[in-house]
Amino acid sequence: MTSQDLPERVAVTPAAATMLVQLRAQHGPLMFHQSGGCCDGSSPMCYPDGEFLTGDADVHLGDLAVVPDGVADGVADGGEPFTVPVWMSKAQYEYWKHTHLTIDVVKGRGAGFSLETPEGVRFLIRSRVLTDEEYGALAAAGVV
Amino acid sequence: MTVYAAPGTEGSVATYRERYDHWIGGEFRKPVNGRYFENVTPVTGKVFTEVARGDADDIEAALDAAHKAAPAWGRTSATERAIILNKIADRMEENLEKIAVAESWENGKPVRETLAADIPLAIDHFRYFAGAIRAQEGTISQIDENTVAYHFHEPLGVVGQIIPWNFPILMAVWKLAPALAAGNAVVIKPAEQTPASILFLMEIIADLLPPGVVNIVNGFGVEAGKPLASSSRIRKIAFTGETTTGRLIMQYAAQNIIPVTLELGGKSPNIFFDDVAAERDAYYSKALEGFTMFALNQGEVCTCPSRALIADEIYDSFLGDAIERTKLVKQGNPLDTTTMIGAQASNDQLEKILSYIEIGKGEGAEVLLGGHRAELDGDLAGGFYVAPTIFEGKNSMRIFQEEIFGPVVAVTSFSGFDDAIATANDTLYGLGAGVWSRNTMTAYRAGRAIQAGRVWTNNYHAYPAAAAFGGYKGSGVGRENHLMMLDHYQQTKNLLVSYSPDELGFF
């Protein structure tokens, strides 16, 4: 089984994808690292790709595929599809691995150094429990 | 019972300005880029003031002011600094009511709490560090008959502090008081959810501090927090928040080789052993109140007792009583002194809590109480309120593993001491914990076995100065709220002195 065949672990809503198009136009290639802990913990933090150093302590959950639809919030996006890698600390993933994550965006006043905060919005994780089939496939591939 | 008038309305004890600039060099200073952002009260969801939206230029200006002030401030005697800290405490005490109302309005927390806890604790914190710095002594080591090592405490110089929004004033003071006591000049970046109440306080105490010793720059994390945290002009950075930003701050600190202190939250277990229910007495009632503490500050506390572990033997009866007790928690207007739980601090916080309630249900946890947004009437209808929520489930569920930062407790049972400790420690974090037992041997053994920096034993959510506060495991680095925090804001200068007139004879 190739990685393309594996069940998806992370996805993005259309509204969040639109925000990613805008942020990419402003900041260049992007990444997410899923936070934990207090205050704004459990929020997906969006940074310029490479700003946050990932390493052996992290898991790469997947790449969000974003296909721009022309213009997002008045920002020309160039129209090229792009991907945004999503990371989480390995220790945290042990407690999250039975769930599928979708990155959404809501109105708000986020914190941390996430890029969307000045836009008056906040990325938010929505979760569902993986089906037995999905989890079984991931387990068989040794990724959970 | 008192219902305070909302700030900005007739008869209010607290009045916010219509606009706040940065506080730099002892005065309000306009943001370099001229931009401001709106500040919403979570009580009604409406804008009540606007605040400077700072960036790297403002951080530089604040660092300039801090560097200008630091040498003279660092040379003041401990006595002089202690006197100033005590004066700040006295001034806050004289203005306690208005500071409390102002903080409630900005954060959404009940004034019952700010009057009785947040602000009195902040006042006491200044007094504690005023005393601590007076009593601090250096050490000497006599190396041999003619050689002495002297150890002096010196301030670090200019330090950066990034403050969370859950206790906008108390958390600022937890960081500010030891830093000032130790002789440092400070640049503070408050949370963007609560940028104004610290400035409200600053105006009240401004004349007591030399210009530039405390500087406050507001703005968004990526625009103002990051330039502060990554600056080569600070000698230490302190942060309270979550783990990803904590790691990023450590990463920036590594680039500048400066120390960090981090408080990154937890998922605190609150353990009720079977002897808790041996009698239906005052202690039993206290334990039930201890259970309901998950709703304190709307659950927006790093040490929220958000996992309740109840002994098998008493599970059904204790949980039943705990649910009844939680039903008595009064939710409503935060400016009403009888209100016990107010509004969540922001819309996105509300959204996050609701998303967790959904994942809890999705994982098969059962909602025993609440589980929804609380709809309040009138002006409060636009505010961000969540009903106190009790889930029953398993410790492997995500609602047992992540700090929801809302009035949500996840309950499960345990079978015997070892199971209780194993469940309590099955978490990434280790900030707080609660142990409830009438048997002091059980309580002591449990307290020592739990991997957490603070184990409340037969009480919960007390935060007196002089009790060290900080995390094990993923909960962070450092101990606040105690004189040991002075070490985190001081250098050690060692003078190694020879009193011998004789050469070594080496060369």
Q: Tell me the pLDDT band of B150, cut-offs 50, 70 and 90.
A: very high
What pLDDT sits at residue A1? 41
What pLDDT sits at residue B96? 98
Supply the DSSP symbol for B299. G
By Cβ distance, the residue of A38, A47, A129 closest to B266 is A38
Question: Which structural domain range is residue A122 located in?
Answer: 8-138
pLDDT in tens, B97-131: 999 999 999 999 999 999 999 999 999 999 999 99
pLDDT beyond 90 at B207: yes
Residue B263 is a catalytic residue: yes
**Any chain A CB within 8 A of the CB of B442?**
no
Q: Does any domain span residue A35? A: yes
Measured CA to CA, the distance from residue B428 to residue B164 in angstroms comes to 21
**Any chain A CB within 8 A of the CB of B403?**
yes
Q: Does any domain span residue A62? A: yes
Asked if A106's CB is within 8 angstroms of B351's CB, the reply is: yes
Asked if A39's CB is within 8 angstroms of B348's CB, the reply is: no
Complex prediction ipTM: 0.94
Measured CA to CA, the distance from residue B332 to residue B381 in angstroms comes to 10
Q: Which range has the worst mean pLDDT, A28-42, B304-318, B329-343? A: A28-42
Q: Tell me the pLDDT band of A2, cut-offs 50, 70 and 90.
A: very low
Per cent of chain B over pLDDT 70 is 100
Given the residues B103, B106, B113, B263, the one annotated as active site: B263
Task: Provide the sign of the torsion angle of the four alpha carbons B92, B95, B96, B100, taken in this order.
Answer: negative
**Any chain A CB within 8 A of the CB of B362?**
yes
The SS3 of residue B190 is coil
Q: Which CATH class is domain B269-457?
A: alpha beta
Strand partners, A88: A34, A59
* Placement of tokens 């599970």 in the chain: B315
Look at residues B299, B347, B302, B339 and name the one whose alpha carbon lies nearest to residue B42. Answer: B347
From-to residues of CATH 3.40.605.10 in chain B:
19-264+475-493
Q: Does any domain span residue A144? A: no
Chain A residues with beta carbon closer than 8 angstroms to that of B346: 108-109
pLDDT beyond 90 at A70: no
Instruction: Work out the mean pLDDT of chain B and round it to a whole number.
Output: 97
What pLDDT sits at residue B184? 98
**Any chain A CB within 8 A of the CB of B255?**
no
Question: What is the arithmetic mean of pLDDT over B289-313?
Answer: 97
Backbone angles phi, psi at A14, to 5 degrees: -55, -40
What pLDDT sits at residue A77? 53
Using an 8 Å Cβ cutoff, are B19 and B49 in contact? yes
Name the domain count of chain A. Answer: 1
Specify the amino acid at residue B416.
G
CATH code for B19-264+475-493?
A: 3.40.605.10
pLDDT in tens, B374-393: 999 999 999 999 999 999 99
Which are the contacts of A56, defined by CB distance < 8 A and separation ≥ 6? A90
Backbone angles phi, psi at B173, to 5 degrees: -70, -35
From-to residues of CATH 3.40.309.10 in chain B:
269-457
What pLDDT sits at residue B1? 86
